[in-house]
Structure formats: structure tokens, C-alpha cells
Structure 1
Amino acid sequence: MKKILNFGSLNMDFVYAVAHTVRGGETEASLGLQVFPGGKGLNQSIAAARAGLSVFHAGLVGEDGGLLLDTLKADGVDTRFVGTVPGRSGHTIIQVDENAQNAILLFGGANRAVTPAYADEVLAHFSAGDIVLLQNEISAVPHILRRAAEAGLSVWFNPSPMDDGARACDLSLVSVFLLNEIEGEQLTGTAEPGAILDRMAEKYPQAAVVLTLGAAGAWYAKAGARAFCPAEKAEAVDTTAAGDTFTGYFLRGMLDGRTPEEALRLAARASAIAVSRPGASPSIPRFSEVERGL
């Protein structure tokens, strides 16, 4: 049985409702504030767990991280590899405007205290054929990716946010890329979806690519084969966890043995439900709800 390790961030999200995203030099009164557990790592673990998968989470929290651990445990995520370090956990300040679009300011906190030694301790519990899911909101990502691949794990990589740390990774070791259109453009130098997929295939022929395009749908490509799924219509309230929800449900679909197109459809349905609700992790639906929608 394959084990799934999500080695990722754990954040508190401070979500401010605004009329429009604050511009440089501008002061704007918030229309409201909500506080949620989040972080791409936590969100993707919860999405995978609510999709019905058994997930181990690895990462670090600060001394204020009790709520983050409790949130993971409440959804059945195995937290035995989550450590606590002095100081504060990661957090984000998120502006959500009247069109449900968001702007995010990230403070790394404990997420930036991940060391190669700690990563090696965690990876020692996993073996060839297991899956490691990575984002780019923690430190030591290039080391984790390399050591996981050396151990024969399948590496699913969401290089978000795209920065020098992501570029320092040996991307030839990635099994599945999980990209939005911005990350796709940053990796390939082109914004056209078909050209992104073409260039990814040229640069990383061994990898599958999942390219999400928001309301324009999503693509899957590998070894010359492609599948497309349109986005489902939804009354968007908050898009913060849409991509993370998509990741968890696409992983479930592929591990179920569904075709890529079927897995995309499952993920698209789950994301449509998520964006219709406020918050990050609280918005993620459970598998029974998503399956009914299909």
C-alpha cells in the first residue's frame, strides 16, 4: 500500500474582506476579519484526507501551533512527523476583494526552520513507491525533493510560490508538476497553455503536468497524451484554497485508477464547491459531497 507524505507548510490565515486590494501608499478600512488554519501544506493534507486518502503530514509549527495540529488531527491526518520549534508559526495576511480574488502576504515563521537533518529523519520512514507531496512554503525543499527521489518516492511538486528556492530544485526528479498559469509561465517563459505544456514536455519529458487555469479549466499532459476538463460554474466567495483542493482530489482520482480526464473532473467539482465558501481549509468539501455532485 502506497503511503502519502505531505511535507509542507502550516500557517494561520488572517483573512480581511476589502473592497479592492490595497495599493502602494493607500490605507483602506477592512470590511471584516476571519482567522482560519491554512498554509498550502495543511490545505493539501486536509483536501487529500477529505477526499478519503490516508495522509502523513510533516512540517514545523511554533509554540502557538496547537490549533494547526488539532485541525489536521480532526480530519484524520497523521501528525506524528510534525515538530514544534521556538517562536511563531507561519502566518498569512490575505485580502479578499468584492470579486473573491485574493492577494496574500506570507510570513514563513516555523516553516522556514525545516532543516535537511529533520527532513532526513522523516523520509527514513518512507520507501520506494510511496508519494511525497511538496509545495514551496518551507525551507530545505531542494534537499527534500532530491532525497525523496533518491529513495524512489514519487515526487508531486507544486512550486508555489515560485522563487529562487524552487528554481534551485532539480526539477528533472519531479514525477508530477502541479501548476497554475502563473507558475507555468514562470517555468516556461510563455503564457499560452498549449505552449506551456509543450515546453514542459521538452524540458521534463519524464513528468506529468497538471495545469490549472481557474475559470478556463485544467489540463493534464504526459508523454504526448493530453486531457482537458472545463471548470465548473460556481458563485465564488473565496478562491484561497481552490488549487489546494484541486490537488488533493486529483491525487485521489489518480490513485483510484481513474483516467486523467476523470481525475480532473473530480478535482474540478471539488474546487467549485470550495470557492463557494469562505476560508481556506474550512471550505474544502468531503468526498461524499463531491461524488454526489458528479
Structure 2
Amino acid sequence: MKILNYGSLNIDIVYKVPHIVKPGETISASDVQQYAGGKGANQSVALAKAGAAVWHGGTIGSDGLWLLDLLKKFNVRTDLVRQYDGPTGQAIIQVSDQGQNSIFLFGGGNQNNTEADVDDALSHFEEGDYLVLQNEINLTSYIIEKAHARGMKICLNPAPYTEDVKSWPLEKLDLLVVNEIEGQDLAGKSGSFEETLQVLTGMYPGTSILLTAGKAGAYFGKDSGREFVPIVDAPVVDTTAAGDTFFGYFLAGRLVGLTDREAMERATRASAMTVSRPGAMDSIPFAGELD
């Protein structure tokens, strides 16, 4: 059983600031660092660090070749990443003294995937293999349709969330991971976490729904089944890759036979370690650290 994560690859430029800058405001940063990032790359690393066999697919420019070396260091397979004549995706990130972050993205190679690239990547996978997707690349609907036709199990974390997500063939998903705001928007109504989960499981029967609720913990639902896991308290240094860590560890846990609750508990502990460290993929713990 193999995992293809067709997702973003970013160069993250992280500024340490006293607070998130306000409109019209100019502030001074106390530090700046460059990291490898992108929700796709972060989730590939989380999956690999959790022990899963994962191939990353996507597009980068020549300025991002060092990202492949780093992914390989973490045991992510990169032979399905294509290089094109243009810049790699970028994320400009502010991290406040309180550990909160604000991010804006430039798509770069992440918005230059082609249908031919997708078809080639999917040709290496078969029925029962897994596809992981986020919302930082183009052709997402196309990828879902083609992977579903191959009998792959499709896992989607539609972040950063946009309105066009509602037009995607979400009924073809095996796993949908959303936060409370994304979940309410998809559900079409506000409500408690439990109410949002109830609506989503009704909208997508047979699909596993994982609803992350920040400090309020995480909720899981599939048809009539329900689970809840509280957070693990940890000192907050940087929350950038917390959600990606949770996603990766949850899916990796399920693949090795953990129950949904067990996978959630393990993912929660991994996320707690991630937020206590600076950076994105570098902050994600290895499975051995949890053990």
C-alpha cells in the first residue's frame, strides 16, 4: 500500500514579529529565517516521519531544488516532482511573540501542474493506494476524478480554504479533514462542533470526517460513528505545521491498523511536539520521539 501526496512545495520565509502586522502599520522583525514548506510538503514529511511510505508529486523551479534534498533526507520519495521554467511557490509568514502566525502565498510551480504530469504520477499507483491532497495546487478536481477512477482512496485537507472547494467531487473522498471554520462553511450553517460533524457526515455518507477544533480538540465522524480527543497541552512556539502534523500522523496511524481514536490520540501528541518548536517540516517529530 503506497501513498501519493500530490501537493505544494514552498520556500517559507519566516519573520519573527512582536505581533501580526495590521493594515497600514509598519513594524520591525527581530529575526528572519528560510525554511522548506508548503502544506503538501509538510504533510509528506509528517507521513514519512510517522513511518509511512510516501511519494510526493508536484512542480518546482530551479530555485527550489534544495527542497528535494530535504524531502529525501526525511525519506520522502521525490521522483514524481517535476521541474519547470519558473519560480517555486513561496510563503511569507509572520510569527508573533505569542506564537500565532499569519501567512500569504505565491503559487509559483504549485499552480503550474499539467494534466500530463498528473496522469504520469497516478500511473505508478493502483487500486487501494492512497492519494493525499490539499488546496495549494491547481487541477485538484481533475486529480480527484482520475484517482477515483483508478480505485485509489482519496484524502483531502482543503486548506487554505476557498469557495471553489464546494464544487469539487467531495463525494468521492475516503477522508475529509477540516477545521471548524472550513467545516461550518461546507455544512452551510454555523453550530457546535458536534452539529457541524452531524451535517457533514450526512452530506458525505461513507466518508470519514476529521474536524480539528484548535484548543477544543478534534472530532471524528463516519456515518453514525463518533470520536473525540482533547488536545495535549504544550508550550507554543510556532503553530505553522500543527495541522499538517495532525493530518499526517492520523493517516499514518490508520494505515498501520490503529483505530480512529488511537490514530487521533497519536496525532494529537505529535502536534503538541510540533507547536513547541520553530519552523515547519523541521519541527515535525519522528515517530520514535513520541515513543
TM-score range, shorter-chain basis?
A: over 0.9
Cα distance in 2, alignment partners of residues 191 and 23 from structure 1: 29
Q: Which residue pairs with 2:6 in the alignment? A: 7
Q: Which amino acid in the other structure matches residue 13 of structure 2?
A: F
TM-score (norm 2): 0.98
Cα 1:19–1:191 shift into 2, 3 Å: farther
Cα distance in 1, alignment partners of residues 94 and 210 from structure 2: 27
Superposed displacement of residue 19, structure 1: 1.2
Q: Which amino acid in the other structure matches residue 16 of structure 2?
A: A
**Do 1:94 and 1:105's aligned partners in 2 also have CA atoms closer than 8 Å?**
yes
Q: Which residue pairs with 2:121 in the alignment? A: 122
Q: Which residue pairs with 1:69 in the alignment? A: 68
Q: Which amino acid in the other structure matches residue 30 of structure 2?
A: L
Superposed displacement of residue 252, structure 1: 1.5
Q: Which residue pairs with 1:80 in the alignment? A: 79
Cα distance in 1, alignment partners of residues 179 and 237 from structure 2: 19
**Do 1:217 and 1:230's aligned partners in 2 also have CA atoms closer than 8 Å?**
yes
Cα distance in 2, alignment partners of residues 191 and 27 from structure 1: 37
1:273-284 pair list within 5 angstroms = 273-284=273-284
Q: Which residue pairs with 1:212 in the alignment? A: 212
1:1-294 pair list within 5 angstroms = 2-188=1-187, 189-291=189-291
TM-score (norm 1): 0.97
Cα distance in 2, alignment partners of residues 153 and 48 from structure 1: 17
**Do 1:238 and 1:276's aligned partners in 2 also have CA atoms closer than 8 Å?**
yes
Structure 1 residue ranges (4+ consecutive) displaced by more than 4 angstroms after TM superposition: none
Cα distance in 2, alignment partners of residues 225 and 73 from structure 1: 38
Comparing 221-230 with 177-186, greater Cα deviation is found at: 177-186
Superposed displacement of residue 6, structure 1: 0.4
Q: Which amino acid in the other structure matches residue 280 of structure 2?
A: A
Superposed displacement of residue 192, structure 1: 1.9
Q: Secondary structure at the match of 1:160?
A: coil
Superposed displacement of residue 191, structure 1: 4.5
Q: Which amino acid in the other structure matches residue 260 of structure 1?
A: D
- Structure 2: stretches of 5+ with no match in the other structure: none
Deviation sequence 1:46-75 (CA, Å, 0-9, x none): 000000111100000011111111111111
Cα distance in 2, alignment partners of residues 157 and 19 from structure 1: 34
Cα distance in 1, alignment partners of residues 158 and 3 from structure 2: 18
Cα distance in 2, alignment partners of residues 11 and 61 from structure 1: 8
Q: Secondary structure at the match of 1:190?
A: coil
Comparing 191-200 with 87-96, greater Cα deviation is found at: 191-200
Q: Which amino acid in the other structure matches residue 227 of structure 1?
A: E
- Structure 1: stretches of 5+ with no match in the other structure: none
Cα 1:165–1:115 shift into 2, 3 Å: farther
**Do 1:141 and 1:166's aligned partners in 2 also have CA atoms closer than 8 Å?**
no
**Do 1:184 and 1:191's aligned partners in 2 also have CA atoms closer than 8 Å?**
no
**Do 1:217 and 1:231's aligned partners in 2 also have CA atoms closer than 8 Å?**
yes
Q: Secondary structure at the match of 1:183?
A: helix
User: Sequence identity, in percent?
Assistant: 46
Q: Secondary structure at the match of 2:63?
A: coil
Cα distance in 2, alignment partners of residues 62 and 46 from structure 1: 20
Cα distance in 2, alignment partners of residues 166 and 7 from structure 1: 16
Q: Secondary structure at the match of 1:196?
A: helix
**Do 1:243 and 1:271's aligned partners in 2 also have CA atoms closer than 8 Å?**
yes
